[in-house]
Structure 1
Amino acid sequence: MTDRLILVLDAGTTSTRAMLYRRDGRRIATAQADLTQYYPRPGWVEHDAEEIWRQSLACARRMVEQAGGPDRIAAIGITNQRETVVAWDRRSGEALHRAIVWQDRRTAAECEALREAGHEPMLQRRTGLVVDPYFSATKMRWLLDHAPVVRDAGERLALGTVESWLAWKLTGGLHVTDASNASRTQLMALDGGDWDPDLCALFGVPRAALPEIVDNAGAFGETQPDILGGAVPISGMAGDQQAATIGQACLRPGDAKATLGTGAFILANMGETMPASAHRLLGTLLYRIGDRRAYALEGSIFVAGSLIQWLRDQLGLIEKAEDTEALARSVADNGGILMLPALVGLGAPHWKPQARGIITGLTQGTGRAHIVRAALESLSHQIHDLADAFAADGAPWRLLRVDGGMSANDWIVQDMADILNLPVDRPSDVETTALGAAMLAGLGSGLFSSLEEASAMASPATRFAPAMHVKERAARLRGWRAVLATQ
Structure 2
Amino acid sequence: MAQRVVLAIDEGTTNSKAVLVSEAGEILASGSAPVPTEHPRSGWVQQDANEIWAATQKAITACLASRPEVEIAALGISNQRESILIWDRETGAPLGPVVTWQCRRTSAACEALKQAGHEADVIARTGLPIDPLFPAPKAAWLIENHGAASSEICIGTVDSWLIWKFSGGAVHATDRSNAARTQLFNLSESRWDDQLCALFKIDPAMLPEVKDSAHVFGQTRGTGVMPDGIPIASAIGDSHAALFGHGAFGHGDGKITFGTGSSVMTTIPDFIEPPKGITTTIAWSLNGQSTYAFEGNILVSASILPWTATLLGLDGVEALLDLAQTVDTSGEVSLIPAHVGLGSPYWDSEARGLICGLSFGAGPAHIARAAVESMAFQVQDIYAIMSHAAGGIGRLSVDGGPSGNPFLMQLVADYINHAVTPNKNSEASAIGAAYLAGLATGVWPDLDTLAGLVKRGTKIAPQMAEEPRHGDLERWRKAVARVLCDV
Where on the TM-score scale, by shorter chain, does this alignment land: which range? over 0.9
Does the aligned pair in 1 maintain the 2:95–2:147 contact within 8 Å?
no
Shift of residue 138, structure 1, vs aligned partner = 0.3
Residues 1:307 and 2:314 aligned together:
no
Cα distance between partner residues in 2 of 1:403 and 1:94: 35
Q: Size of the alignment, in residue pairs?
A: 481
Give the secondary-structure state (helix, strand or coil) at the position aligned to 1:416.
helix
Residue identity matched to 1:294: T
Q: How does 1:367-406 map to 2 (within 5 A)?
A: 367-406=363-402
Give the match for residue 193 of structure 2: 196
- One-letter amino acid matched to 2:266: A
Partner of 1:240: 238
Q: Displacement, 1:322?
A: 2.2
1:338-377 map, 5 Å: 338-377=334-373
2: distance between equivalents of 1:78 and 1:12? 11
Partner of 2:177: 180
Q: Deviations over 1:102-132 (max 9, x none)?
A: 0111111111111111111111111111110
Letter in structure 1 aligned against 2:30: T
Distance 2:12 2:444 in 1: 26
Deviations 1:281-311 (CA, angstroms, capped at 9, x unpaired):
1010011112322100001111111111322
RMSD (CA atoms): 1.6
Partner of 1:136: 135
Structure 2: distance between partners of 1:298 and 1:35: 26
Distance across 1 between alignment mates of 2:66 and 2:218: 23
* SS in structure 2 of the partner of residue 415 of structure 1: helix
Please tell me the residue identity of whatever aligns with 2:183: Q
- Taking structure 2 as the reference length, the TM-score comes to 0.95
Structure 1 residues 31-430: aligned runs within 5 Å: 31-68=31-68, 72-145=71-144, 147=145, 150-173=146-169, 174-225=171-222, 227=224, 228-271=226-269, 273-313=270-310, 315-430=311-426
Amino acid of the structure 2 residue aligned with 1:241: S
SS of 1:461's equivalent? coil
- The answer on whether the counterparts of 2:18 and 2:32 sit within 8 Å (CA) in structure 1 is yes
State the alpha-carbon separation in 1 of the partners of residues 429 and 253 from structure 2: 16
Aligned partners of 1:282 and 1:299 also within 8 Å: yes
- Name the CA shift for 1:2/1:437 in 2 (closer, same or farther; >3 Å): farther
**Unaligned stretches of 5+ in structure 1?**
none
Q: In the alignment, is the contact (CA less than 8 A) between 1:46 and 1:101 conserved in 2?
A: yes
- The 1-side partners of 2:470 and 2:247 are apart by 32
Report matched runs for 1:2-21 at 5 Å.
3-21=3-21
Given candidates 417, 428, 439, the residue that maps to 2:435 is 439
Instruction: Please say if residues 442 and 454 of structure 1, whose CA atoms lie closer than 8 Å, have aligned partners that are also in contact.
Output: no
One-letter amino acid matched to 1:426? P
CA deviations over 1:70-102 (Å, ceiling 9, x no partner): x71011000000010011112221211110000
Partner letter of residue 103 of structure 2? D
Structure 2 residue matching 1:434: 3-state secondary structure: helix
Rounded Cα–Cα distance in structure 2 between residues aligned with 1:323 and 1:456: 37
- Residue-by-residue CA offset, 1:177-229 (whole Å, 9 max, x unaligned): 11100000011100223311111111101111111111101211111155313
Query: In the TM superposition, what whole-angstrom CA distance separates every residue of 1:378-401 from its partner, at most 9, and x where no partner exists?
Result: 111111111211133234224421
Identify if the C-alpha distance between structure 1 residues 420 and 226 changes in structure 2 by more than 3 Å, giving closer, same or farther: closer
SS at match of 1:288: strand
Q: Report the residue type matching 1:320 in the other structure.
A: G
Residues 399/218 of structure 1: CA separation in 2 closer, same or farther (3 Å cut) = closer
**1:2 Cα offset (Å):** 10
CA contact (8 A) 2:87 2:153 kept: yes
Compute the TM-score of the two structures, normalised by the length of structure 1.
Answer: 0.95
SS of equivalent residue, structure 1 residue 332? coil
Cα distance in 1, alignment partners of residues 55 and 47 from structure 2: 12
Q: Distance in 2 between matches of 1:222 and 1:361?
A: 57
**Amino acid across the alignment from 2:62:** R
1:351 & 1:2 partners in 2: Cα distance? 50
- Runs (4+) of structure 1 exceeding 6 A deviation are none
Q: Deviations over 1:301-346 (max 9, x none)?
A: 1111111132245x25432222232112111221321111111111
- 3-state SS of paired residue (2:327): coil
The residue matched to 2:459 in structure 1 has which SS? Answer: strand
Superposition deviation, residue 460 in structure 1? 2.1
Contact 1:345 1:354 in 2 (8 A): yes
Q: Aligned AA for 1:385?
A: D
Q: Cα offset for 1:47?
A: 0.7
8 Å contact 1:11–1:56 — kept in the other structure?
yes
Question: Which stretch has the larger CA shift, 100-109 or 186-195?
Answer: 186-195
The letter of the residue matching 1:5 is V
SS at match of 2:371: helix
Preserved contact between residue 16 and residue 33 of structure 1 (Cα < 8 Å): yes
- Change in 2 beyond 3 A, CA 1:41/1:450: same
Distance 1:229 1:6 in 2: 13
Q: Matched residues in 2 for 1:405 and 1:78: separation? A: 19
One-letter amino acid matched to 1:275: I
- Counterpart residue type for residue 382 of structure 2: L
Contact persistence 2:243–2:432 (CA under 8 A): yes
> What is the CA–CA distance in structure 2 between the aligned matches of 1:169 and 1:116, rounded to whole Å?
39
For 2:287 and 2:393, locate their aligned partners in 1 and report how far apart those are by CA, in whole Å: 29
Report how far residue 154 of structure 1 moved.
4.1
Report if the CA contact (8 A) 1:105-1:344 is conserved: yes
- 1:467 CA displacement: 0.9
Q: Which amino acid aligns with 1:219?
A: V
The residue type equivalent to 1:334 in the other structure is S
* 1:168 maps to amino acid: W
Alignment-derived partner of residue 463 in structure 1: 459
For 1:261 and 1:31, how far apart are their aligned partners in 2? 18
